[in-house]
Each structure stands twice: as structure tokens, then as C-alpha cells.
């Protein structure tokens, strides 16, 4: 009898334990679903509208399409980051963490879109400035300063000497963003805006475009250069420059010639969403309607048709067709829509800052210190000394001369869904296992301890190991031209086995492409990026430090025990692995297939 009662108690305990675990797992989700019921409906409606708008894009005006893209991205941000609303002000107020998805370009776009309260945003930016251990340089510093001006903050957190030195420090792009600052009244040492314009014009290539490196103009870089030169093409602005205007005309002709039949554009060897956006912003900056101008309609397709083909069901955008949501592409579409809407409304171009022109500056706020990271925003609305075109900005040096650090190319602070789901599944399975043990009268202290240890180890592995799809990994390596610290060219050839086993007769697996990169990237990074854009599979093994076993259809040992892949940088074969060789601006990288340990591939 006692044994029977003990068995019943064990069964009851096991069932109660399983029920409690199940309730704990389900209750938060159910409560969250109920709390987010309206949001879910909104997201569902937005997704349905996204599909309908894409189908009706050709019958809609550019304004309608741009507004739809804009609203769709706001809905995506609200859903992805669990904001309480898709209202821009709510997203700004709840997204001030520098590591969140709401980074500089969303803030910049909203500042140029409407009248929002940026006091909390300004405080968050200043707080992140103070926490930096070292200042950033070049275009990154320029962009942060540009956003500070756009939201109506002053430039006191920025060292004026660093800003002055940044102009031209990283080639054409640091001249472009330096000119954007100068166009908005920032004085950069002795250099005038006209000096910067002359330097930019001196870098024009023979085809009328601009590029980070190489002999031919790049779509992205040419478009961004046009954006900076736009104010010098309008005589009414009082700053007309005949040479700059002529250069812009040539660049527009080049962009028109480079447009694809689907209305899109190709840059660095791949058709992509961001190139379409940069052209859209450039055309809007100089008063050309990308939706209707005959020069930019190919087979009846406009750049808006091409951009629509990169749209995801949730309102975000991808870098290349067939890819997944890409942070950079989504941001750029967002500010591209703002640029086009400003053009249609007769407002100045995207980079002519409203806060500067109208003198709408935030009240001066105390510099945030690490011991006081989040003081309440000053409710006063008295403007500081405004920065006006042609005037010198107040650049009083502060104790910190840096700028916020990049939170990752495609990063964000949100916990990946697979970790939350996996945790729930592991806990549920553990509860089920304990229940089964109890039912079988094996719920001993030893078995409970063993089950707990196994569950803990599996959970630890789940939260340590980062799981990504191939596309997510490739997107994390991708660098846009505007964020690049330099550019290299890369070619993949198999001349030693050309024409054999169905390989290309000319020995070219990948023709020369340009790859923008960030400081610290390696030859391996460049190869992965180029191969992903070209659709070439790679076999790198596991933990090989950048050793390449196979590219495309060719693997090591396919043509003998001495065959395999080697890489050359500027004509020389480095001794270190591809993952250990850092990139330098202008590097010429060649991957060559050898039959004889490189004896047949040396220059």
C-alpha cells in the first residue's frame, strides 16, 4: 500500500511539474500575443499592402510608391524591434540606443522628413560620444557630425581639427561628405567649399564618373558625388559653378547609360538595391524625376520598379534579389524615399539640412559624462547660435573628440528568435524527460542532476554559437561604398585548366570586380563578398583560417596532388593565409588555380 501511494505521488508530482513548465512557457507568449494583437494585425495589413503596392507600382505615381515604401519600413522597424507603435516619434523615442536598428541614417532621414522632437536622440548620441575610448576618423566622423546638424544639435562634441583633417583623408568619399558639411555652413580650417569642389572635379575619370579606385566611374560613387555637387548647379542658389554643373551633366548621362533594362543599376559587379537608391537621391538632388524622366526609363521600367523588386513581405529591403533583409539596403531606401518626396514637394535636396537653413537648433545641453549617462532632455526650446550657409559653425572642443562607434554592419541588440525558441524547446523537453522518469519511477537525484547538466550544456551551446544563414553571413561582410575605408579589385581565374572538364575556355571564373572594404577586412573577406555576389560556391572547410579548398566548380586536388587555389596581391603571393592578409586601398587581388603548387601561375 505504501509503495502504491508513493508511486501515485511520484506520478502526480511529474504531471504537476510538466504542467507548470508548459504554463510558464506558454503564458508569456500568450500574454505578449494579446498585448500585441493590434500590432500583429497592423503588420499583417502592411504585408498585404506591400504585395498590392508592388503589383500596382507601375500605375502609381512616384510619390505614392515612395510614401508606401517609407510607411512600410516604419512598420518593419516597429515590428522588428517591438516598438509600441510605427509612429516616427515613438520609434525615435524608443530607439535611441546606439546599438539598436535605429541608427544614423534613419535618424537623418526623419530629420529631413518632418518636424520631430530629437532631444532624446541628441542626448543618446552625446552619451555614446563620451563612452568612446578613441575618436573615429574620416567619413565616419563626417557622417555623425552631419546627423548632429540635421537633428538641430551643435558640433561641440566634435574636435574641429579632426573634422578639418577628415576632408580628403579617405579619398573621394571623404571629400563628398566633407563638402556636405561645408554646404551646411561648417568651416573646416582654411579650406573653402570651392576648394573641395575643385578637388572633387580633379578626380573625375575619363568616362565622366567617379570611383574609389579604378579607371571607370562607379554608379554608387558617381551618384553620391552628384549629390554633393548639386547645390553648385543652381544659379538661383547664388553658388552656381559652371564647371561643376557641366561635370554633373556628364555624370547624369553616364548614369543613364548604365541603367539596366529592369530600371535598376549594377555596382561592384552586382545588380543591387543600394545602387538604385543612390541614383534616385542623385536625380532628386538635381531636379530630375526618376519616375518619369525619359532618360531613366528603360523598357518602360523606372528605378522605382527596380527598387520594388528588392522589397520583402515585411516592408524591409534586401541587397540582392533572392537575398534576405539587409540593414543597409533598408536604411538607404528609407532616406531615398525622403529625398524623392522632398523633390516632389519642391523642398531643397536631401543633404541641404532644414535645421541649418531655418535656424531650428536644440537648446544647449550639458555634456553627458559616463557617471550620468542619461540625463533628462532640457525642455527649453531656445535656439543656440545657428550654423548658416557660409558661416562658421561653433566647434568648441570638448573633452571627448570622438563619435559613436559602428554597432556592426548588420548588427543590432535584439536577441535572435532562434535562441528564444530553442530555449523554450529545451526547457519543455527537460520537463517532459523528468515527467517520464517520474512515471517510470526513476526520478532519482542522480538522474535529475544528469538531466539538468545536459540541459544546461545544450542551452550554453545555443547561446554561445551564432547561427546564420549563408545570406546573413554574406550580408554581414558586405560594405557599401559610402561606408568603405577603401576599395580593392578582385579576379578569379583558372587559366592552367581552361577549357577542361567544362571550365571556361578563357579561364575566367569571375571577371574583375571592385570590392569596398572596412579597415581590418582581409583578402578572405573580399573573396567571400565577391563570390556571394557572383553566386560562386566556396569550400573553406572549418577552422582553416582562410584556407580555400574550392571556388565554384574547382577544388584542390581536382587536377593532381599539387593542384589547388592560390592568391596574389599586387602580383605577389603572400606567405600568410587569406584570412591573415589585411586589405589596403587599391590592392589588386587575383585568385589563380594551379596544377603545380604555384609554379605555373607565378607572374
**Cell numbers that stand for 33 in this block:** 500575443
Residue 505 DSSP SS3: coil
Q: Using CB atoms within 10 A of its CB, is residue 52 exposed (0-12), middle (13-18) or buried (19+)?
A: exposed
* Helix (H), strand (E) at residue 141: helix 138-150
179-200 pLDDT, tens per residue?
Answer: 999 999 999 887 899 999 999 9
- Phi, psi angles (nearest 5°) of residue 408: 120, 145
Residues 423/429/435/436 CA torsion (nearest 10 deg): -160
pLDDT for res 30: 37
**Cell numbers that stand for 305 in this block:** 520598379
Q: How far apart are CA 208 and CA 201, in angstroms?
A: 10
- Phi, psi angles (nearest 5°) of residue 266: -120, 135
Instruction: Report, in this order, helix, strand and coil percent for the chain, each rounded to 5.
Output: 50, 10, 40
Q: How far apart are CA 73 and CA 327, in angstroms?
A: 11
Q: Which residues contact 141 (CB under 8 A, 6 or more apart)?
A: 135, 158, 162, 163, 166, 403
Q: Using CB atoms within 10 A of its CB, is residue 82 exposed (0-12), middle (13-18) or buried (19+)?
A: exposed
Helix 138-150 crosses helix 172-183 at what angle (to 10 degrees)? 20
* Helix (H), strand (E) at residue 513: strand 508-517
Q: Using CB atoms within 10 A of its CB, is residue 250 exposed (0-12), middle (13-18) or buried (19+)?
A: middle
Q: How many CB atoms lie within 10 A of CB 575?
A: 7
pLDDT for res 123: 86
pLDDT for res 461: 85
Whether 484 contacts 516, CB under 8 Å: yes
What is the CA angle 425-430-434, rounded to 5?
150
What is the CA angle 173-391-364, rounded to 5?
95
pLDDT for res 35: 38
**Cell numbers that stand for 177 in this block:** 561628405
pLDDT for res 282: 97
pLDDT for res 451: 86
Q: Which residues of the chain have pLDDT under 70?
A: 1-60, 95-102, 131-135, 235-239, 363-416, 466-478, 541-546, 603
pLDDT for res 478: 67
For the chain, what is the mean pLDDT?
79
DSSP per-residue codes, 242-288: HHHHHHHHHHHHHHHHH--TTS--EETTEE-HHHHHHHHHHHHHTT-
Q: How far apart are CA 249 and CA 229, in angstroms?
A: 11
Q: What is the 3-state secondary structure (H, E, C) of 318-362?
A: ECCCCCCECHHHHHHHHHHHHHHHHHHCCCCCCCCCHHHHHCCCC
Residue 98 DSSP SS3: coil
**What is the torsional sign of CA 222, 228, 234, 235?**
negative
Whether 315 contacts 73, CB under 8 Å: yes
Q: pTM above 0.85? A: no
Whether 601 contacts 566, CB under 8 Å: yes
- Phi, psi angles (nearest 5°) of residue 287: 80, 25
Kindly list the structural domains of the chain, giving each domain's residue range(s) and its CATH number in brackets, ordered by start: 2-31+417-464 (no CATH), 36-358 (1.50.10), 485-594 (2.170.130.30)
pLDDT for res 412: 41
Q: How far apart are CA 265 and CA 332, in angstroms?
A: 15
pLDDT for res 50: 42
pLDDT for res 331: 92
Strand 588-594 and strand 486-493: the pairing is: parallel
pLDDT for res 557: 86
Amino acid at each position: 500500500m505504501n509503495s502504491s501511494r508513493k508511486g501515485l505521488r511520484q506520478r502526480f508530482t511529474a504531471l504537476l511539474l510538466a504542467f507548470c513548465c508548459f504554463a510558464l512557457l506558454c503564458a508569456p507568449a500568450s500574454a505578449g500575443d494579446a498585448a500585441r494583437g493590434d500590432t500583429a494585425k497592423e503588420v499583417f495589413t502592411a504585408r498585404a499592402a506591400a504585395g498590392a503596392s508592388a503589383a500596382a507600382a507601375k500605375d502609381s505615381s512616384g510619390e505614392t510608391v515612395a510614401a508606401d515604401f517609407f510607411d512600410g519600413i516604419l512598420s518593419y522597424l516597429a515590428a522588428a524591434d517591438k516598438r509600441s507603435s510605427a509612429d516616427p516619434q515613438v520609434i525615435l523615442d524608443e530607439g535611441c540606443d546606439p546599438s539598436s536598428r535605429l541608427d544614423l541614417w534613419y535618424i537623418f532621414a526623419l530629420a529631413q522628413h518632418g518636424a520631430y522632437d530629437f532631444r532624446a536622440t541628441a542626448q543618446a548620441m552625446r552619451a555614446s560620444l563620451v563612452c568612446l575610448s578613441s575618436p573615429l576618423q574620416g567619413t565616419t566622423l563626417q557622417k555623425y557630425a552631419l546627423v548632429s546638424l540635421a537633428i538641430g544639435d551643435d558640433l561641440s562634441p566634435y574636435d574641429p581639427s579632426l573634422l578639418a583633417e577628415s576632408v580628403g583623408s579617405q579619398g573621394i568619399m571623404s571629400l563628398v561628405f566633407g563638402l556636405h558639411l561645408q554646404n551646411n555652413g561648417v568651416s573646416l580650417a582654411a579650406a573653402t567649399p570651392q576648394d573641395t569642389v575643385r578637388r572633387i572635379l580633379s578626380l573625375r575619370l575619363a568616362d565622366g564618373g567617379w570611383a574609389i579606385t579604378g579607371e571607370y566611374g562607379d554608379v554608387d560613387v558617381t551618384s553620391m558625388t552628384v549629390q554633393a555637387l548639386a547645390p553648385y548647379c543652381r544659379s538661383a542658389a547664388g553658388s552656381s559653378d559652371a564647371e561643376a554643373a557641366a561635370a554633373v551633366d556628364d555624370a547624369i548621362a553616364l548614369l543613364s547609360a548604365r541603367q539596366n533594362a529592369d530600371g535598376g543599376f549594377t555596382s561592384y559587379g552586382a545588380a543591387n538595391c543600394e545602387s538604385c537608391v543612390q541614383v534616385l537621391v542623385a536625380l532628386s538632388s538635381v531636379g530630375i524625376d526618376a519616375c518619369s524622366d525619359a532618360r531613366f526609363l528603360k523598357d518602360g521600367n523606372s528605378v522605382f520598379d527596380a527598387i520594388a523588386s528588392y522589397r520583402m513581405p515585411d516592408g524591409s529591403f534586401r541587397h540582392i534579389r533572392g537575398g534576405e533583409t539587409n540593414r543597409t539596403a533598408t536604411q538607404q531606401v528609407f532616406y531615398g524615399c525622403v529625398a524623392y518626396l522632398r523633390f516632389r514637394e519642391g523642398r531643397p535636396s536631401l543633404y541641404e539640412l532644414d535645421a541649418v537653413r531655418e535656424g531650428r537648433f536644440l537648446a544647449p545641453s550639458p555634456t553627458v559624462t559616463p557617471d550620468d549617462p542619461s540625463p533628462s532632455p532640457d525642455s527649453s526650446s531656445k535656439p543656440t547660435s545657428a550654423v548658416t550657409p557660409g558661416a562658421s559653425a561653433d566647434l568648441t572642443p570638448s573633452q571627448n573628440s570622438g563619435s559613436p562607434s559602428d554597432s556592426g554592419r548588420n548588427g543590432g541588440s535584439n536577441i535572435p528568435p532562434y535562441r528564444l525558441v530553442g530555449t523554450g524547446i529545451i526547457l519543455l523537453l527537460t520537463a517532459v524527460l523528468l515527467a517520464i522518469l517520474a512515471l517510470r519511477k526513476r526520478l532519482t537525484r542522480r538522474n535529475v542532476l544528469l538531466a539538468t547538466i545536459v540541459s544546461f550544456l545544450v542551452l550554453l551551446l545555443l547561446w554561445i554559437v551564432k547561427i546564420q544563414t549563408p545570406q546573413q553571413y554574406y550580408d554581414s561582410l558586405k560594405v557599401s561604398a559610402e561606408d568603405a575605408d577603401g576599395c580593392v579589385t578582385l579576379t578569379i581565374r583558372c587559366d592552367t585548366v581552361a577549357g577542361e572538364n567544362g571550365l571556361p575556355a578563357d579561364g575566367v571564373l569571375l571577371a574583375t570586380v571592385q570590392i569596398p572594404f572596412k579597415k581590418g577586412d582581409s583578402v578572405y573577406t573580399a573573396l567571400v563578398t565577391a563570390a556571394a555576389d557572383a553566386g560562386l560556391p566556396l569550400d573553406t572547410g572549418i577552422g582553416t583560417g582562410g584556407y580555400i579548398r574550392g571556388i565554384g566548380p574547382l577544388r584542390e586536388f581536382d587536377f593532381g596532388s599539387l593542384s589547388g587555389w592560390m592568391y596574389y596581391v599586387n602580383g605577389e603571393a603572400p606567405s600568410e593565409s587569406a584570412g591573415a592578409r589585411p586589405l589596403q586601398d587599391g590592392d589588386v587581388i587575383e585568385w589563380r588555380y594551379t596544377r603545380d603548387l604555384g609554379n605555373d601561375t607565378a607572374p
